[in-house]
Structure 1
Amino acid sequence: MRGDLALDQLRTLAAVVSEGSFEAAASHLRITPSAVSQRMKALEAATGRVLVRRTRPVTVTEQGAEVLRLARQVDLLVRELTPVSGDTVPVAVPVVVNADSLATWFLPSVAGVADRVLLDVQREDERYALARMRDGSAMAAVSAVGDRVPGCSVSVLGTMRYRAMAAPSFAARWFPDGLTPDALARAPVVEFDRDDELQQRLVRRVTRRRVDPPRHYVPGSEAFRESIALGIGWGMLPDLQSGPLEESDAVREIGERGRIDVRLHWHQYQLDSPALTLLSDAVREGARQHLR
Structure 2
Amino acid sequence: MDLPLDHLRTLAAVVDAGTLERAAAALGVTPSAVSQRIRAIEQRVGRIVLQRTKPVRATEAGEALVRLARQLAVLEHDARTALGDAAPAPRIPLAVNADSLITWFMPALIAVTERLPATFELHREDQERTAQLLQDGTVMAAVTAQREPVAGCLSTPLGRMRYVPIAQREFAARWFPDGLTRAALEGAPIVDFDANDSLQSRFARRHGARAAAPRHIISASAEFAQAVQMGLGWGMLLPGQFERGVADGSLVVLAEDTVEVPLWWQRWNLASPLLDLVSDAVADAARTSGAIA
Q: Provide TM-score, normalisation by structure 1.
A: 0.92
One-letter code aligned to 2:261: V
8 A contact 1:246–1:252 mirrored in 2: yes
1:40 aligns with 2:38: yes
Find the aligned partners of 2:218 and 2:248 in 1 and give their Cα distance.
22
Which consecutive aligned stretches of 4+ in structure 1 deviate over 6 angstroms post-superposition? Answer: none
- Secondary structure of the 2:281 match is helix
- Structure 2 residue aligned with 1:186: 187
Find the aligned partners of 1:125 and 1:79 in 2 and give their Cα distance.
30
The 5 A counterparts of 1:79-158 are 79-82=77-80, 86-115=85-114, 116=116, 117-158=118-159
Find the aligned partners of 1:77 and 1:247 in 2 and give their Cα distance.
51
Q: Give how far 1:148 is off.
A: 1.1
One-letter code aligned to 2:280: D
Find the aligned partners of 2:187 and 2:247 in 1 and give their Cα distance.
28
- Structure 1 residue aligned with 2:22: 24
- Choose 70-79 or 97-106, whichever is displaced more: 70-79
2:67 equivalent among 66, 69, 76? 69
- Choose 230-239 or 245-254, whichever is displaced more: 245-254
- Structure 2 residue aligned with 1:12: 10
- Secondary structure of the 2:40 match is helix
One-letter code aligned to 1:161: R
C-alpha offsets along residues 202-251 of structure 1, whole Å, 9 cap, x if unaligned? Answer: 12211252x12111111111111111111111111122433344445443
8 A contact 1:80–1:89 mirrored in 2: no
- Secondary structure of the 1:148 match is coil
8 A contact 2:193–2:218 mirrored in 1: yes
Q: Give how far 1:8 is off.
A: 1.0
- Secondary structure of the 1:262 match is strand
- Secondary structure of the 2:241 match is helix
- Structure 2 residue aligned with 1:228: 228
- Choose 79-88 or 276-285, whichever is displaced more: 79-88
- Structure 2 residue aligned with 1:253: 253
Number of residues of Structure 1 aligned to a counterpart in Structure 2: 288
C-alpha offsets along residues 3-34 of structure 1, whole Å, 9 cap, x if unaligned? Answer: 41111111111122222222222232232222
1:203 aligns with 2:204: yes
8 A contact 2:131–2:150 mirrored in 1: yes
Find the aligned partners of 2:67 and 2:228 in 1 and give their Cα distance.
40
**Identity score, percent:** 43
- Structure 2 residue aligned with 1:289: 288
Change (3 A) 1:189 1:79: same
- Structure 1 residue aligned with 2:276: 277
8 A contact 2:186–2:209 mirrored in 1: no
8 A contact 1:50–1:61 mirrored in 2: yes
C-alpha offsets along residues 76-113 of structure 1, whole Å, 9 cap, x if unaligned? Answer: 22234446985443311211100000111000232121
- Secondary structure of the 1:35 match is helix
Q: Provide TM-score, normalisation by structure 2.
A: 0.92
Find the aligned partners of 1:244 and 1:19 in 2 and give their Cα distance.
44
- Choose 180-189 or 31-40, whichever is displaced more: 31-40
Change (3 A) 1:62 1:143: same
8 A contact 1:179–1:254 mirrored in 2: yes
Change (3 A) 1:255 1:36: same
8 A contact 1:82–1:89 mirrored in 2: no
1:216 aligns with 2:232: no
1:50 equivalent among 48, 51, 60? 48
Find the aligned partners of 1:167 and 1:57 in 2 and give their Cα distance.
43
One-letter code aligned to 1:280: S
In structure 2, the gaps of 5 or more residues are none
8 A contact 1:9–1:39 mirrored in 2: yes
Find the aligned partners of 1:55 and 1:243 in 2 and give their Cα distance.
48
- Secondary structure of the 1:105 match is helix
- Structure 1 residue aligned with 2:163: 162
Find the aligned partners of 1:244 and 1:81 in 2 and give their Cα distance.
49
One-letter code aligned to 2:251: V
One-letter code aligned to 1:96: A
